[in-house]
Structure 1
């Protein structure tokens, strides 16, 4: 894996959050946010309110911009995002996870923690010059994001649905040809 475990976890969560805006919407209710929180291993404050849901949903365009930015633009965006929040990096261990970095207080709003954790993950992407691991889905009818953590950088589609749809189309084209 090209990144530390916590960086990969945060990048997966950020891509999932960004992709939740793609049809069909998958972050529409507080229950959806609860599931997102659990699935991506977030800890700390979680208000479970419509306001918190709105704050998290509002992050999606900004995080998409950050994740798809070129290296120099991403560096500037990371600095801008981190300048706007209280950042206090520290090493923590919890929930069966080994030592990893938390960079803001556990009682900070969930949207703040998502911004900080995504920005910190992008620090590693920028430093390692690994922007090619983040892309838009190769399906021409999809705008979902792809995070490719494979060794051979072969992931092209954001989901199994897009992969299957394109594989079927390629098969039909080969049979027709």
Structure 2
């Protein structure tokens, strides 16, 4: 590591340390108030600082606004993940007990669902919408084109992008 990059890294760590010591309590209290759960609030606060630590941000002019913005994104992902888990558990509730997956399979399905959800979030909004209309709603490409107001060739291009992302998930 060069002297300049070492200094930048040290500055980054100092900035994060100051941010953490000065604002962790406030962020935790804010998340606890929103969630009504101390354990989830602690996890999400930690995830927020982990995400910031992974970034290369060294100067933060408005720390609470910045923390709020980062935490909001993490909180949205958390809510989506919980909704996905609830939907899966609701579907399992309709499965006869003898057909229910083992705890290991249950865990693997949830992890796969989370991976797919994260992959879908990397897609452009129209690509994601086309993919979901096709795969979840069972619409034909012509119907998707009409619903999205795009050409059939554009829908095919969107689907190709989505399937390429799916293949990358498998690898």
TM bucket normalised to smaller: under 0.3
Give the structure-2-normalised TM-score: 0.22
Greater helix content: 2
TM-score, normalised by the number of residues in structure 1 = 0.22
Q: Which has the higher strand share?
A: 1
**Higher relative contact order by CA 8 Å / sep ≥ 6: 1 or 2?**
1
